Structure 1
Amino acid sequence: MSEAATFASEAAQALAAATGVDHHDIALILGSGWGGAADLIGEEIASVPAEQIPGFGGHVVAGHHATLRSLRTADGRNVLVLGARQHFYQTRDAGKVAHAVRTAAAAGCHTLVVTNGCGSTRPEVGPGSVVLLEDHLNLTGATPLEGATFVDMTQAYSPRLQEIARSIDPSLPGGIYAQFQGPQYETPAEVKMATVLGANLVGMSTTLEVIAAREAGLEVLGLSLVTNLGAGIGGETLNHQEVLDAGVAAAPRISRLLADIVEAMR
């Protein structure tokens, strides 16, 4: 077992002891605007401050919450809400970014739902839109994998789970997400570059987590909330308060959507 896997196993054991739940089925990473979904998914069994679990810290970005929550759905599934997301721009360490996903896998999760707030390169898919991730571009120059670890990323985002999501909302557009390092927002030229490369969503999270999830054998569903048009697309300057405000405005609608999707997963 690798050092990272051993550390994740230790964290999963601490999580089980803290929550009283020895096995979880689904993990959720709730990005900007998505946090309210946890209250709709099931009964809260336990809520644990992130710093009590090895490898997790209390320092988070505005719009995120440094807690790990264990929920139980009406049909008895255990859902782990990873509210202590580490962004690459906080740590410059892909292994730390991946630790939450690896802990979820060690805790028994077979499915990861990863969400984010992001910019859109398509004016017709503007703020408030939810986009179903179909693929991604990892433009961070980093990976959570070590050594000769060859992970197939052909279907990084599960077609089966995408079909379930579209059964709840057939109008969901698909998208390709490009992760930049951050924390600065992308320049208009960088947004244009991402568009030329095939992306239509830009942000600062998700791809490193998905790589780790696929290494661990988790089935992945990705959902993006468009919080702004990318630099040079909408003609306005960008700021983090705009991201937060868009998340607040969309929260009730997207939380209900995500809760319905989780309920439909079997």
Structure 2
Amino acid sequence: MKESEKVAAAVQYLTSLLPRTPELAVVLGSGLGGLADRIEDPVMIPYASVPGFPLSTAPGHAGRFVAGRLGDRYVLCMQGRFHYYEGHEMSAIALPVRVIKALGCRALVLTNAAGGVNWDFSVGDFMLITDHINFMGANPLRGENDDSIGPRFCDMSAVYTPALQQVARKAAADLGLVLREGVYLGYMGPSFETPAEIRAFRTLGADAVGMSTVPEAIAAAHCSLPVLGLSLITNMAAGMAGKRLSGEEVIEIADARGPVFQELVTRIVGML
């Protein structure tokens, strides 16, 4: 089955359940799914019921779409995402992004929990993603290209849309929040990085590291879907804080800073 046929099947199913076309889509990262609780008149659709979708198994990911009103916008939230480390093919990670574009969404907000690589960052900081480094060893565009979705060779000069970044800066300023900016490096996982790898990533120009977002951003660029990327720094990366890393710590910090992060994303959505 061609990729466009998989997209069409998923879109047909979702359209049958959604009362209207969503204007924007938001992917909620580890521990950040609480934003979906703010949605009014929610329509909840488990990924398992959507044709062609895999199961989401990562901790802190509910594994469902939540559609409804967030402020004065009708949005579609992914309450949890798919990761390469779960064993999914890159094409499976790209599928929801392509479906979001085909549904009629005009922009995609990607959020994640990330490790700080920049020495100037602190746990609990928010970072605007200005660019990324794909260190996952794979690309969601590998294989036969479906020209009806995007070109064989995809330009990556401005994956993270400058106009959307300006909106995020204004929203953070309005809320009195410090918004860091930097480069996100995507790492395959699920093991955390070694201190030596973090030193190498810093030399490469990374400011934060995580195990998601990059495949989705590439898929969005491929189908010409504007993207805004936001990271919550939930821990300082390996070798920086003199302690062991754990997934529990990531979720704990995400839960603690989640309400503020939700305020930021809600304001951004209202301004888009």
Q: Given the two structures, how large is their TM-score scaled by the length of structure 1?
A: 0.93
Could you tell me whether the CA contact under 8 Å between 1:19 and 1:45 is conserved in 2?
A: no
Whether 1:186 and 2:193 are equivalent positions in the alignment is yes
Q: Which residue of 2 aligns with 1:5?
A: 4
Task: Name the TM-score, length of structure 2 as normaliser.
Answer: 0.91
Q: In structure 2, what residue type is equivalent to 1:207?
A: V
Counterpart contact for 1:110–1:217, Cα < 8 Å: no
2-side partners of 1:254 and 1:260: how far apart?
10
CA contact (8 A) 1:19 1:48 kept: no
User: How far apart, CA to CA, are the structure 2 residues paired with 1:92 and 1:58?
Assistant: 9
Instruction: Return the letter of the residue paired with 2:35.
Output: A
More divergent stretch after superposition (107-116 vs 46-55): 46-55
Q: Partners in 2 of 1:189 and 1:71 — Cα distance?
A: 44
1:117 maps to 2:113: yes
Q: Distance in 2 between matches of 1:11 and 1:106?
A: 10
Structure 1 gaps, min length 5: none
Q: Is the 8 A contact 1:33 1:250 kept in 2?
A: no
Task: Specify the SS of the correspondent of 1:151.
Answer: coil
Closer, same or farther: CA 25–252 of 1 in aligned 2, 3 Å: same
Shifted more, 86-95 versus 154-163: the winner is 86-95
User: Does residue 166 of the first structure (1) align with residue 173 of the second (2)?
Assistant: no
Task: Give the Cα–Cα distance (whole angstroms) in 2 for the partners of residues 216 and 34 of structure 1.
Answer: 26
Contact 1:47-1:68 at 8 Å conserved across structures: yes
Which runs of 4 or more aligned residues in structure 1 lie more than 4 Å from their structure 2 counterparts after TM superposition? Answer: none
In 1, distance between residues paired with 2:80 and 2:240?
A: 31
Q: Unmatched 5+ residue regions in structure 2?
A: 146-151
In structure 1, distance between residues paired with 2:242 and 2:4: 45
Aligned pair count reads: 261
Identify the residue that residue 72 of structure 1 maps to in structure 2: 69
**C-alpha distance 246-74 of structure 1, shift in aligned 2 (>3 A):** closer
Tell me the C-alpha RMSD between the 2 structures.
1.6
- 2:259 matched residue in structure 1: 252
Q: CA deviation at 1:150?
A: 1.0
DSSP-derived class of the 2:138 partner = coil
